Amino acid sequence: MPEFVDTSPSGSCLFCRLVAGEIPSAQVFEDEHTLAFMDIGQVNPGHVLVASKRHAATLLELTGEEAGAVMQTAQRVARAVQACFAPDGIMLLQANGAAAGQTVQHFHIHVVPRHADDGIHFTWPRPSPAPDVLAGYAERLRTAL
């Protein structure tokens, strides 16, 4: 994915400015907790970003209500994207932290229309830990939940 760098002044997040209407965007939907707008870097036509209205850098900082709201809006937008652009598939992409590829430090989900052979490549290594190792991971998470 091409690297986008948020050049907003310190303390003035790009998406907060966009939510406040201080900078223009091609908006497609808005409700109490979310704003959906066209990504200026259209991976494929119909590529939309769904952001929380309140500033939260990552998924971890959203309230449960906000987390539900952004996914409901993403689904609503995805249905509209399917109806309007008829992609072969739709990918949701949501990154938290620079190591995960997050370039704007304000929570957002990409709704990306996908087509066969559209040039997007997404690969990851697939090590296969032993069952007892997986069980150990699961136990740690159950304890944390």
Q: State the residues that interact with Zn ion by CB under 5 A.
A: 13, 15-16, 55, 106
**Do residues 33 and 52 touch, judged by C-beta distance below 8 A?**
yes
Q: Which two tokens stand for residue 144?
A: 């944390």
Query: What stretch of H or E contains 110?
Result: strand 108-114
Encode 31-43: b = buried (16+ Cβ within 10 Å), e = exposed. Answer: eebbbbbebeeeb
Tell which phi-psi region holds residue 121, choosing left (phi > 0), alpha (psi between -120 and 50) or beta.
Answer: beta
CA distance 69 to 67: 5
CB of 62 to Zn ion, least distance (A): 12
CB of 82 to Zn ion, least distance (A): 29
Residue positions annotated with a catalytic role: 108
Q: Which residue is nearest to Zn ion (CB)?
A: 13
Residue whose CB is less far from Zn ion, 55 or 115: 55
CB of 15 to Zn ion, least distance (A): 5
CB of 89 to Zn ion, least distance (A): 30
Say whether 113 sits in a helix, a strand or coil. strand
